[in-house]
Amino acid sequence: MKKILFLFLFLSQFAFSQEQIVKSVLLDSVTVTGVKDGFDVDEFIHYVKSDTTFYMAFKHLRYYAHKYESELNIFNKKEETIDVLKKWGTHFSDGRNAWVVDDSIFDKGKIFSRKAVRILRKNTDSTSSVYAQISKLKNKYRYYTPEAFDEVFFPIDTIGVSLKMSDGKNENEGESQNMRDAKTVGFSIGDDDTEQKKGGMSVKLAVFDISMQQYYNYKIDTINYKGRDCYTFSVEAKEDLSKKDLGEALIRKIVSYFDKENFNVIYRKYIFSYRHWLIDLDMQVIVNMDYFNGKHIPTDIYYKGFWNVPFFKAERAEFKLKLWDYKVD
């Protein structure tokens, strides 16, 4: 089950695979006007299908040094906050390797394991060296969610970084199976071969496959987002689906904003929901992008989710990550 949560923590580019989607695209009145002025829907879909900007922005996140602030909240069944973990620190990079140093940590409740708590109580000075000791512990948390986010955004060890677009053959060396699974699904949502099978559950994530188009509406729109003119592309499960058909649509909604000037993705939102026998999943991920010294970089990442499967304790969590002060040459 741990991999199920992880599949949605490193989301990025679409790998759209069906030209037939063009026939299903809905155009709002503003975009229709654009079509009359020469807007080419087929060309737009081609851009969306071949987009690599979201993926590259996440490579920039690891490649360039920056400051970060994160907040993780764990909730009970009544949606009351019971545990909190906040981090402030620096992501360092020399262009070949990157590493993370937590400058400060704040915790409330019982988010840490007993072993981690003993280290904190023994070292009351709250220095970076203490946080380094804790970060290297195995099973340092009482929950899986913070472990997953640590692996994605706050790796324990030094990691190799590069701006080279890899074919994936060597890029996965040394990564955990969790990270490989996350990237496989995250970087190929919409691909025909993207399918997840865990614990008897088979969920097809190829939302643009011909067989899946009956469950979704596809729409091109325009928006001014934070003073920037953008095209929007959305995929949303149809409102009139039966309960059975709704069960086929794990991905309930995906929205992307593309900067009209260069077609970079500057906003993306995912909503997932799944109900099947003893398995419950509800997840939402939002990523905001911006530019720093001409580089396309993530600035805010938001996650809120609930998952409950047999043999694991249900978790309700919210994660917020702010990234700033990028050191871009």
Tell me the backbone φ, ψ of residue 190, rounded to 5 degrees: 105, -15
Instruction: Please report the pLDDT score of residue 313 as a whole number.
Output: 84
Distance of CA 316 to the CA centre of its chain: 17
Distance of CA 79 to the CA centre of its chain: 22
Is the model more confident about 292 or about 203?
292
pLDDT tens digits, 160-199: 999 987 655 455 555 554 455 454 444 444 444 444 444 3
Q: Is the pLDDT of residue 17 over 80?
A: no
Instruction: Please report the pLDDT score of residue 123 as a whole number.
Output: 65
Q: Give the pLDDT band of residue 22 (cuts 50, 70, 90).
A: low
pLDDT tens digits, 25-50: 666 655 545 555 566 777 776 677 67
Tell me the backbone φ, ψ of residue 179, rounded to 5 degrees: -65, -40
Give CA–CA dist 254/199, Å, rounded: 25
Give CA–CA dist 190/193, Å, rounded: 9
Tell me the backbone φ, ψ of residue 308, rounded to 5 degrees: -145, 115
DSSP string over 257-288: EEETTT--EEEEEEEEEEEETTEEEEEEEEEE
Q: Give the pLDDT band of residue 74 (cuts 50, 70, 90).
A: very high
Distance of CA 260 to the CA centre of its chain: 23
Question: What pTM does this model have?
Answer: 0.81
How much is the average pLDDT of 70-98? 96
pLDDT tens digits, 1-11: 444 444 444 34
Instruction: Please report the pLDDT score of residue 91 as a whole number.
Output: 97
